[in-house]
């Protein structure tokens, strides 16, 4: 675990002194041109001891909203703690970011190869060195993602169903939705759980898109969580909200019954009633018009923004069991 209570804080072989902010390059590979690929790691320590919070984004290189969240955390000096240490890594998958791609050049998804291996694929090696050299320093992890491809996620925190402790942190973060979601094998979140490090995964927006409303939800959540940990600079105003996060205990995908042009008629985040009109699917020739309706009442937490879809494509993600009464936590156990 972290060493914020001691005078020395060693990360990637460098010591960060009390009250110091330093950028360290996590170097692990080279381009074809022999140019080094370096991941900037921004570390800020307070004079007072306290926990270490690790904030990451860009595990998928095309998920720009998360990168912008962490950038704002740094630019607005939210990462300058009054106690403890905050580690910020805006882009973990530099290769993917350079190529505007979700994956590494070898086609592998970094979030499916944790904890990695020392002699494996490029993505696996990055996961290995990150897991060995950086992750053990953390007491809490915040990881920022977006929806894949053209699928737009409502701002949400994902936690495992059996983790009431993480749900408490999710309530403090207070994204519009908290979605119960089991950990995927070989994911960053699964590795954190095995190492005993509480982690929150934020999802919001879609790939290759910068949405100011999603980014604000992410930044506001970071501020609230740091304030709860008594790490936040008192000059930074803690955002308040009259709405509590909605717990989505169960959900389902609504899939396209026809192939064709997709015309979405509702917004993400909306609560819909059973049989409510959601979208139409048409052919390019004006001969077919298929009406998509809600199979049940619930919140729409993901909308496919693709202009064309194939039969079977996921077009909406809707809650099937949700609660606006945040004290109702039966689904967590």
- Give me the half-sphere count of Cα atoms (radius 13 Å) on the Cβ side of residue 136: 10
101 has a pLDDT exceeding 50:
yes
CA-closest candidate to residue 139, choices 47, 8, 4: 4
Whether 69 shows a pLDDT value over 60: the answer reads yes
Indicate if 135 and 53 belong to the same structural domain.
yes
- Over residues 104-118, mean pLDDT: 96
| 209 and 305 belong to one structural domain | no
CATH number of residue 308's parent domain: 2.40.50.100
Q: Is the pLDDT of residue 122 over 90?
A: yes
* Number of domains observed in the structure of the chain: 2
Q: Do 168 and 305 fall within a single domain?
A: no
Q: Is 296 in the same domain as 202? A: no
Judge if 182 and 261 occupy the same domain: no
Identify the band that residue 7 occupies on the pLDDT scale cut at 50, 70 and 90: confident
What whole-number distance in Å separates Cα of residue 85 and Cα of residue 47? 9
In angstroms, how far apart are the furthest CA atoms of the chain?
73
Question: What is the 8-class DSSP label of residue 183?
Answer: P
| Residue 119: its H or E element | none
Same domain, 134 and 173: yes
Q: Is 1 inside a domain boundary?
A: no
212 shares a domain with 266: no
Last residue of a domain, one of 193, 228, 263: 228
**Does residue 277 lie in a domain region?**
yes
Asked whether the beta carbons of 255 and 313 are under 8 A apart, the reply is yes
pTM for this structure?
0.95
Q: Are residues 216 and 280 in the same domain?
A: no
Q: Please determine, for residue 191, whether its predicted confidence score (pLDDT) is greater than 70.
A: yes
- Could you list the residue range(s) of the whole structural domain that residue 201 is in? 10-228
Helix axis angle for 212-228 and 164-173, nearest 10°, is 120
pLDDT above 90 (res 159): yes
Choose one of 158, 193, 228: the last residue of a domain.
Answer: 228
Mean pLDDT taken over the chain? 95
CB of 65 within 8 A of CB of 144?
yes
Same domain for 88 and 55: yes
Higher pLDDT, 328 or 73: 73
Query: pLDDT tens digits for 20-54?
Result: 999 999 987 888 899 898 999 999 999 999 999 99
In this structure, are residues 47 and 60 in contact, taking their beta carbons and an 8 Å threshold? no
Is residue 139 situated within a structural domain?
yes
How does DSSP assign 153-174, residue by residue?
Answer: EEEEEEE-TT-HHHHHHHHHH-
Cα(252)–Cα(105) distance, integer angstroms: 32
- Give a yes or no: residue 288 inside a domain: yes
DSSP state of 138: -
In the chain, % of residues over pLDDT 70:
96
């Amino acid at each position: 675990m972290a060493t914020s209570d001691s005078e020395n804080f060693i990360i990637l072989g460098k010591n960060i002194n009390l009250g110091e902010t330093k950028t360290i390059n996590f170097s692990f590979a080279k381009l074809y041109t022999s140019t080094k690929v370096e991941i900037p790691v921004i570390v800020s320590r307070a004079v007072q001891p306290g926990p270490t919070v690790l904030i990451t984004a860009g595990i998928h290189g095309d998920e720009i909203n998360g990168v912008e969240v962490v950038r704002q955390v740094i630019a607005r000096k939210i990462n300058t703690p009054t106690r403890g240490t905050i580690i910020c890594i805006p882009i973990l998958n530099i290769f993917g970011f350079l190529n505007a791609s979700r994956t590494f050049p070898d086609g592998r998804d970094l979030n499916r190869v944790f904890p990695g291996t020392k002699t494996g694929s490029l993505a696996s090696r990055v996961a290995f060195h990150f897991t060995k050299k950086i992750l053990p320093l953390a007491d809490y992890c915040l990881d920022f993602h977006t929806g894949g491809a053209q699928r737009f996620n409502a701002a949400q925190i994902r936690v495992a169903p059996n983790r009431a402790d993480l749900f408490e942190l999710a309530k403090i973060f207070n994204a519009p939705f908290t979605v119960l979601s089991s950990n995927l094998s070989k994911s960053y979140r699964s590795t954190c759980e095995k190492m005993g490090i509480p982690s929150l995964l934020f999802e919001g927006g879609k790939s290759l898109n910068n949405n100011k409303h999603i980014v604000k939800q992410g930044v506001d959540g970071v501020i609230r969580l740091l304030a709860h940990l008594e790490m936040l600079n008192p000059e930074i105003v803690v955002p308040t909200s009259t709405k509590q996060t909605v717990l989505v205990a169960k959900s389902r995908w609504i899939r396209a019954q026809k192939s064709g042009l997709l015309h979405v008629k509702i917004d993400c985040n909306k609560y819909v009633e059973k049989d409510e009109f959601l979208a139409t699917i048409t052919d390019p020739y004006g001969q077919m018009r298929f009406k998509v309706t809600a199979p049940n009442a619930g919140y729409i937490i993901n909308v496919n923004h693709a202009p064309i879809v194939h039969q079977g494509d996921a077009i909406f993600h809707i809650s099937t069991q949700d609660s606006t009464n945040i004290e109702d936590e039966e689904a967590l156990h």
